[in-house]
């Protein structure tokens, strides 16, 4: 389900229940939601890139962006989680990373936030090849700010790259 459909369904459920409660208590003559039918929600299957498709995509990327594309494909992390990742949250020897922040851009301002839910705070296992690639990336492109994996300018560029791929693209 998409965000708009979820919002519509949740709003309908809340308002319909409050209307039914008012109708039962006789404080409302009738509920305006009786007989309202929501539009049918059509779910689309998600499409994921194959290993060879990821390899082809990575080969076409500039060297400095290959690590984030491999990390996204290997971990399933969302863009904001990857952009909010700090080097001190990587445990390359233990082959894991800790997701405890997300980075987002709202009205031209980049902000680091805590994940929205408790479940979003998590530790993610990393394959060995990705740990090697991330170590090489950090060596070639050291963080400009202590503990950060990228500068604000790089994050903006990644946002532009992600926007260029477009909605509905495999993550």
Query: Is-contact 19 32, C-beta < 8 A?
Result: yes
pLDDT tens, position by position, 55-105: 999 999 999 999 999 999 999 999 899 988 888 999 999 999 999 999 888
Cβ within 8 Å of residue 58, ≥6 positions away: 66, 69, 70
The fold of the 51-165 domain, in CATH, is hpI Integrase; Chain A (1.10.443)
Q: How far is CA 163 from CA 25, 42, 116, 160, in A?
A: 50, 24, 22, 5
Three-state DSSP class for residue 130: helix
- The 10 Å Cβ neighbour count of residue 84 is 26
pLDDT for res 92: 94
- The encoded tokens of residue 18 equal 């409050």
Q: Ranked by mean pLDDT, which of 8-12, 42-46, 117-121, 160-164 comes out on top?
A: 117-121
Question: In the chain, what are the domain boundaries?
Answer: 1-44, 51-165
Residue showing tokens 């459909």? 5
pLDDT tens, position by position, 12-59: 667 666 555 555 555 555 666 667 777 777 788 888 899 999 999 999
pLDDT bin (cut points 50, 70, 90) of residue 152 is: very low
The predicted model gives 146-157 an average pLDDT of 49
């Amino acid at each position: 389900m998409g965000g708009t459909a979820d919002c519509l369904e949740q709003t309908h459920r809340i308002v319909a229940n409050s209307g039914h409660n008012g109708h039962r208590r006789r404080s409302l003559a009738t509920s305006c939601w009786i007989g309202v039918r929501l539009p049918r929600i059509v779910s689309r299957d998600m499409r994921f890139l194959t290993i060879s498709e990821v390899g082809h995509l990575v080969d076409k990327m500039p060297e400095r962006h290959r690590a984030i594309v491999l990390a996204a494909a290997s971990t399933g992390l969302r863009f904001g989680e990857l952009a909010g990742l700090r080097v001190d949250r990587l445990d390359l020897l233990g082959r894991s990373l800790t997701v405890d922040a997300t980075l987002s851009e709202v009205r031209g301002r980049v902000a680091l936030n805590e994940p929205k839910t408790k479940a979003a705070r998590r530790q993610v296992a990393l394959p060995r090849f990705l740990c090697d690639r991330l170590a090489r990336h950090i060596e070639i492109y050291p963080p400009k700010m202590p503990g950060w994996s990228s500068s604000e300018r790089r994050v903006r560029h990644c946002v532009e790259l992600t926007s260029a791929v477009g909605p509905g693209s495999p993550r």
